[in-house]
Amino acid sequence: MRLRPLAALSAAAVSVLLLAGCAGAGGGDASPSPTASAAADLCSSAAPSGAISDGVKVSGDFGAEPTVDFTKPIDITDLKLERTVTTKGDGAALTAGDFVDYAATIFDGATGAVLSSQGYTPGEILPEQISADNGGQLFGCATIGSRITVAAATGNETTPSVIYVIDVLGVTPTAASGEPQTPVDGLPTVALGDGGNPTITVPAGLKIPDTTQVEVLKKGDGATVQPGDTVLVQYTGVLTDGTVFDSSWKTGVPVSFQTTQVVVGFGKALEGQTVGSQVLAVIPASEGYGAEEKGSIPANSPLIFVVDILATSVTSNSGQ
């Protein structure tokens, strides 16, 4: 059984243990540029340690699937949660609004059997955005490089208790971090503002291609986006007159979706690209919304997007 995103497991461990929103969905109103107060708020929400979580012996290298030894079955009731920072990492402290890269293994609290394990290979799961109310119990007061042990009752008769071992691998940037590439003449130009917010300038007389044209503005070195993957992105879309019709930068919070759930041209701009990349896509109307009017987008409109690809996960492996 594969690990689902932590948020998706809330039904198994009730709201005491896990995150409230969709994994990497960009929901909530947490700031993408957290302050010191965000770190304090997250720290104050951390679940306390206890005799059970303290008593779990964890072995194995950080970033690899661990093994555990504990007294079975664990005696944790009333949907109680205990959390112990087994190994404190020497990286930066997590703050509210961070998109946390993690790996986790779940063990049956009665038998010790591995129920699920994922995140140790890039591209398996999306990062989780955390806040005091959304994952703070697990990640509060943790630093990058930490290994966290969690013991919890689930409220499930089949598996009444679980042990989690979570490795905090890092934090995903909220803007593309790849190597800048040489722009292609004749295409729209992009100027980056605060935090990476793009302003797109469309040249007069822009030639619209018959099929989507994609230019890599920054080349990332992360996992390659495959057809059907779920991606975490920032994006801005404009019409050929430069009018912005949609942008995740309005809130500054990335969004996630499958590459097959967007217009054909947008999917083409994502698939085959690497995480950390920023791409420019010029999409003909035939690979956009065609003759359909869509909100502020007139019928038969070519579309121009700048997309920052922040993370990807293989949807078929998500367990959802």
Q: Tens digits of per-residue pLDDT, 294-319?
A: 999 999 999 999 999 999 998 654 33
| Per-residue pLDDT at 30 exceeds 60 | no
Kindly report, residue by residue over 125-141, the tens digit of the pLDDT.
Answer: 899 999 888 889 999 99
Write down the pLDDT at residue 264: 97
User: What pTM was computed for the model?
Assistant: 0.84
Kindly report, residue by residue over 165-178, the tens digit of the pLDDT.
Answer: 999 999 999 999 99
Residue with tokens 């929400």: 45
Write down the pLDDT at residue 41: 76
Give the HSE-up count for residue 43: Cα atoms under 13 Å, Cβ half-sphere.
10
Kindly list the domain boundaries of the chain, sorted by start residue.
Answer: 6-172, 179-317
Higher pLDDT, 67 or 194: 67
Range ranked top by mean pLDDT from 11-25, 61-75, 109-123: 61-75
CATH for the stretch 179-317 = 3.10.50.40
Kindly report, residue by residue over 3-15, the tens digit of the pLDDT.
Answer: 444 543 333 332 2
Write down the pLDDT at residue 150: 95
Write down the pLDDT at residue 73: 94
Separation of alpha carbons 14 and 22, rounded Å: 15
Write down the pLDDT at residue 37: 54
For domain 6-172, give the fold.
Chitinase A; domain 3 (3.10.50)
Three-state secondary structure string covering the chain? CCCCCHHHHHHHHHHHHCCCCCCCCCCCCCCCCCCHHHHHHHHHCCCCCCHHHHHCEEECCCCCCCEEECCCCCCCCCCCEEEEEEECCCCCECCCCCEEEEEEEEEECCCCCEEEEECCCCCCCCCEECECCEEHHHHCCCECCCEEEEEEECCCCCCCEEEEEEEEEEEECCCCCCEECCCCCCCCEEEECHHHCEEEECCCCCCCCCCCEEEEEEECCCCECCCCCEEEEEEEEECCCCCEEEEHHHCCCCEEEEHHHCCHHHHHHHCCCECCCEEEEEECHHHCCCCCCECCECCCCCEEEEEEEEEEECHHHCCC
Write down the pLDDT at residue 168: 97
Question: How much is the average pLDDT of 82-102?
Answer: 95
Question: How much is the average pLDDT of 74-79?
Answer: 82
Residue 1's pLDDT band (cuts 50, 70, 90): very low
Kindly report, residue by residue over 226-250, the tens digit of the pLDDT.
Answer: 999 999 999 999 999 999 999 999 9
Question: How much is the average pLDDT of 52-67?
Answer: 97
Same fold for the pair 6-172 and 179-317: yes
Residue 120 near residue 63, CB atoms below 8 Å: yes
